[in-house]
Amino acid sequence: MDFACLLNAYFDEAAERQGLSSECIALAGRQIEFCFAGDRWTSLTRALVRGASRPMGKPALRVMVWDGEQPPRNHVLKAYLLALTSRFLDYIGPRGQLLDFQVSGFEALYVPMPGLLFAVDLESNTAFCWKRDTSALPYWEIVSPFRPLLHCWFRSQGIQLLHAAAVGTQEGGLLLAGRGGSGKSTTALACLNSSLRYLSDDFCTIGQQDGVYSAFGLYATAKLEGPEDLARLSSSTWNGFARAPHRRMSASRKGTRRSRTHGRNVVELVLQLLDACFDLRFLLSQASGYVGIK
């Protein structure tokens, strides 16, 4: 029995104990079904862009999400996961890839902090997200969940996940690339006061169809550095964001300290926008461009 089958059986065990729930979301024009054992992690899909309502066929990808509240029944998998989580330096490469399971059609990696195992079986279009325990996730995993497995699977579909902000209109878009902290989020959010639309501040996907490249929204979030960034953006910016019919934004602090603005915790600040959502797609034509931020 291969590793994917062992993980699948482990998920089924957890779903049998805790119950099964699922949600289908269209990302970059692909239907993806997220299946959860129990309800502890179902809120993670709130950060994903919601596509337009459309008839649901067979999903292109199925993602199983659960945690290690109970160990697997299979003793081999139980021993491996115990060794992986306790002595991960012996089992993963420099990018977190599992050294024992790098075979054609299957990719897996482990993120020691916060203890997330991601695996993608490209032959069956099945993916796994397992958390070591039931402890809370850090903010960056909440505002951009499932990123490693989505990156891997989208790549197999000819779609590239980019670390870049994107703004524009339906006629053309602009990618803003730069290191973390270089100003991508601030620049993208500042465009809300203009005729430009907001697609992303940190990650988006790029795909090609009929010779035309398009940028797709992935996460309905924006990360800010607490009161300083909130104060830098005028109230009219937030009003512009609230008028947009396609977004929900989570403003989170980059760091571990928690601060308060107007009596509310910045980490928990969520701007709920209209429920009428659709796939936001910008064409990247000759009139579009790419900007690097130093």
**Is pLDDT of 26 > 80?**
yes
Say what the alpha-carbon torsion angle 225, 141, 218, 262 is, to the nearest 10 degrees. -30
> DSSP labels for 172-208?
EEEEEEE-TTSSHHHHHHHGGGSSPEEEESSEEEEEE
Better-predicted residue by pLDDT, 90 or 209: 90
Split at pLDDT 50, 70, 90, the class of 38 is very high
Whether 15 contacts 66, CB under 8 Å: yes
Which pLDDT score is estimated for 250? 31
How far apart (Å, rounded) are the C-alpha atoms in residues 68 and 85?
11
Number of neighbouring beta carbons within 10 Å of residue 216:
25
Which pLDDT score is estimated for 96? 94
- Average pLDDT for 199-209: 86
Which pLDDT score is estimated for 267? 26
Give which of 281, 279, 284 is closest to 174, Cα–Cα: 284
Where do we find the tokens 């107007």? 262
- Average pLDDT for 107-114: 95
Q: What is the pLDDT of residues 151-191, one digit of tens each?
A: 999 999 999 999 988 888 777 788 888 877 777 888 888 87
Backbone dihedral region for residue 132 (phi beyond 0: left; psi -120 to 50: alpha; all else: beta)? alpha
Which pLDDT score is estimated for 254? 35
31-40, 96-105, 201-210, 266-275: range with highest mean pLDDT: 31-40
Total-model pTM: 0.80
Instruction: Dig out the tokens for 246 from the structure.
Output: 């396609």
Whether 35 contacts 18, CB under 8 Å: no
Which pLDDT score is estimated for 23? 94
Which residues partner with 116 through β-bridges? Answer: 111, 131
How far apart (Å, rounded) are the C-alpha atoms in residues 121 and 135?
27
At 227, phi and psi to the nearest 5? -55, -35
Q: What is the pLDDT of residues 68-94, one digit of tens each?
A: 999 999 999 999 999 999 999 999 999
Pairing of strands 106-111, 203-209: unpaired
Crossing angle of helices 3-18/75-86, nearest 10°?
Answer: 100
> DSSP labels for 129-159?
EEESSSSPPPHHHHHSTTHHHHHHHHHHTT-
Backbone dihedral region for residue 11 (phi beyond 0: left; psi -120 to 50: alpha; all else: beta)? alpha
Burial degree of 104 (CB within 10 A; 0-12, 13-18, 19+): exposed
Map residue 79 onto helix, strand or coil.
helix
Instruction: Dig out the tokens for 286 from the structure.
Output: 């000759």
Domains of the chain: 3-156 (3.40.449), 160-293 (no CATH)
**Is pLDDT of 245 > 60?**
no
Pairing of strands 160-169, 203-209: antiparallel
Which pLDDT score is estimated for 288? 42
